[in-house]
Chains A and B, each alone.
Chain A
Amino acid sequence: MGGYLTAFLIWLFSLTVFIPLAAEVSAGIPLRPLVASMFLTAVAIEVYSATSGMLSYLNSRRAAERLRLVLLEVTLVADAVLLIPLLWAVAPVLGGMSLILALVVMAVLASPHLDELVTLASGALARLLSAQ
C-alpha cells in the first residue's frame, strides 16, 4: 500500500505543478512529454511494486473470498487513475489506448461475477441505509 501513497504524491505534483510548468517553457524541444515520461517512470515503478504486493495478498489465503474480486477491481482502478493521465501527457494516443485497455480488462474480470458484485453492492447499500 505504501507504494500507492508514494505514487500518488509524485502523480499529484507532476500533474498539478511540473507538467503545466513544462508546457509553459518554450525551449524548442517537446518538454512536456519529456517531463511527463520522467514522472511516469517514477510512478510506474511505485505502482508496479504496490500492485505486485496487492496481487500477492489477493493470491494468499488471507484475503476474504468475497472481497477478492472487488479488491482486484479497486487495484485496477487505482493503477489506471495513476498511470493514464501521465500516459495522456506523454502522448494522448497512449492515454486513450491504455484507457480502453483498462476498461476492457475491468469488464472482462467483472462480467463472470456480475451477479455476485450486484449482490455485494446491494447488501452494502442496504446495510448503509439501515444504519442511517
Chain B
Amino acid sequence: MAAGMDDVEERAREAYVSTIRELRESAPKVLVNIGIVVLLWAFTKYVFIPLSAEYALFGIPLPQLISIIMLIAVALLIMGIARECLDLVDAAATYAAYEFGARRRASEEEVENYRVGLRSILYVAIAALLFTLFKEFLNMLHPALSAITLLAISVWAIFTLVRAGRAFSRLAEYYAREWAEKLESRMTGGRGNDEQ
C-alpha cells in the first residue's frame, strides 16, 4: 500500500516536471499562433468584410470569398497548433489528476479516471470556444454550414461528456466505498469496545 502511494507521489512529481517542460516548449508557439488567429479574425471581421461588402468577383460576393480564405488560413493555423494544444491539455490534465491523486493517495486507476474526465471537459470547452469564434464566417458562407457544424459538435460533445461523466462516476463510487468502509470500521470498532 505504502509502495503504491509512493509510486503515485513519484508519478505526480514526474507529471509536474513534464507539464512544466511541455508548457515551456509549447506555450509560446500556441500563444503566438492564437494571437495570429485572433488578429486574422479581427481584421477579417472588422476590416476586410466591411470593405468588400459591395464587391463581387465572377458573380461571387467578395465577403464570401474572403470568409473562405480566412477559414482555410485559420484551419491551417489551427492544425499547426492543435497537436501542441492537445499535448498541453493532456499535460495539464495529467498534472491535475496526479496532484489530486497524490493529495488523497489515489490508485493508478483513479488517476486515469481523473485524467479522462478532465481531458474530455477541456476538449468540449475548446471546441465550443472555436465554434463561437468562427460561426459568423461559416454563417456567411452558408447558413446551413454553421448549423450542421453545431449539430455535429453537439453529438460529439454528448458522447465526450458521457465519457467524462462515467469517469467521474467511478471516482464517486471509490469515494462512497471508502467512506462506507471507514464508517463500517468505526462502527465495528465501537461495537468491539462495547463488547469489551
Q: Compute how far the CA of A29 lies from the CA of B146 in the bound complex, rounded to whole angstroms.
A: 12
Neighbouring B residues of A92 by C-beta, 8 Å = none
Most buried by B among A5, A7, A22: A5
Interface size class of B (residues with CB under 8 A): 20 to 34
Q: Decide if B34 is an interface residue (CB 8 Å cutoff).
A: no
Interface string of B41-80 (1 = CB under 8 A from A): 0000000000000000000000000000000000000000
Which residue from chain A places its CB closest to the CB of B176 in the assembled complex? A1
Answer whether A13 and B169 are a contact pair too, CB < 8 Å, given A25-B139, A27-B147, A35-B151.
Answer: no
Answer whether A34 and B158 are a contact pair too, CB < 8 Å, given A5-B169, A28-B143.
Answer: no
Q: Compute how far the CA of A17 lies from the CA of B169 in the bound complex, rounded to whole angstroms.
A: 22
Q: Which residues of B contact A (CB under 8 A)?
A: 121, 124-125, 128, 131-132, 135, 139, 143-144, 146-147, 150-151, 153-155, 157-158, 161-162, 164-166, 168-170, 172-173, 176
Further contacts, 10 of them, CB under 8 A, given A24-B135, A42-B162: A1-B169, A1-B176, A2-B166, A2-B170, A9-B168, A18-B128, A21-B131, A21-B150, A27-B147, A38-B151
